[in-house]
Amino acid sequence: MIVANLKQLKDDVPAAVTVVAVSKTKPIDAIQQAYEAGHLDFGENKVQELCQKHETLPKDIRWHMIGHLQRNKVKYIAPFVHLIHGVDSERLLNEINKQGAKNNRVIDVLLQIHIAEESTKFGFSYAEAEAILSKAKTLENVRITGLMGMASYTDNNVQLTSEFSGLQDFYNKLQASNNWTTLSMGMSNDYKLAVSLGSTMIRVGSLIFGSRN
């Protein structure tokens, strides 16, 4: 099931789009199945779960931290995390830089942009993100490689299109001057639309692993 779902999904999007298999709440065995079929990118949203899975599973897995990240937990994932999607404050960015230095590495991150209507979702406004970009240039152990956004939880295509294309426009405007490679947008219910609007990385859980409780 998992392997077939993943294959179908990959066949459905251009090869240049990275599929992050969101394995939060799912057991080691489920990840192992996808890994053995050749999949390497997995996403988790809780630091403790991410660390436990990293310890247990093969070390060439690329772990994506996709959830809200607290500053005091950055140190646990700094040694190995592949990409942190949800950077939503300058203080968090500074802490990732500090932990990157301690671990002798440059940690790749995405700035999370608040594109949804719901007030509960984290992220910068476009203006705040632009301000952070100039400050971030002095940080040597963190690298902003693009943007991440979560659209509203709705099946209203007009609204989803407006949220995704706003992010796409902002990404396109700043991509070249910042050497960005990654626009992370799209989940199980909206990845097709996101890809049609320029997403280079989708974060898909339930469509691969089945629904979560």
Residue 187 binds to ligand PLP (criterion: CB under 6 A): yes
Q: Is 188 a binder of ligand PLP (CB under 6 A)?
A: yes
Binding mask 74-113 for ligand PLP (x = CB under 6 A): ----------------------------------------
The vertex-41 CA angle with 59 and 160, nearest 5°, equals 155
**What is each CA distance from 192 to 18, 58, 132, 198, 202, in whole angstroms?**
13, 30, 30, 10, 9
Is residue 25 a contact residue for ligand PLP (CB under 6 A)?
no
Could you tell me which residues come within 8 angstroms of residue 163 by beta carbon, excluding any fewer than 6 positions away? 115, 116, 117, 149, 151, 152
Under rule CB under 6 A, residue 39 binds ligand PLP: no
Residue 67 interacting with ligand PLP (CB under 6 A): yes
DSSP letter string over 54-100? HHHS-TT-EEEE-S---GGGHHHHTTT-SEEEEE--HHHHHHHHHHH
Interface with ligand PLP includes 123 (CB under 6 A)? no
Identified binder of ligand PLP from the candidate list 23, 45, 168, 200, rule CB under 6 A: 45
Dig out the tokens for 177 from the structure. 């001057």
The region of 31-39, 72-80, 168-176, 183-191 touching ligand PLP under the rule CB under 6 A is: 183-191
User: Considering only CA atoms, which of 191, 212, 205 is closest in space to residue 5?
Assistant: 205
> 100 or 186: whose CB is closer to ligand PLP?
186
For ligand PLP, which is the closer residue by CB, 24 or 71?
A: 24
Helix-helix angle 47-56:28-36, to 10 degrees: 50
Q: Which stretch binds ligand PLP (CB under 6 A): 49-57, 70-78, 171-179, 198-206?
A: 198-206
Rounded Cα distance between 80 and 64, Å, is 10
Return the residue of 141, 162, 178, 206 that touches ligand PLP, per CB under 6 A.
206
Would you tell me which residues interact with ligand PLP (CB under 6 A)?
22, 24, 45, 66-67, 150, 187-189, 203-207
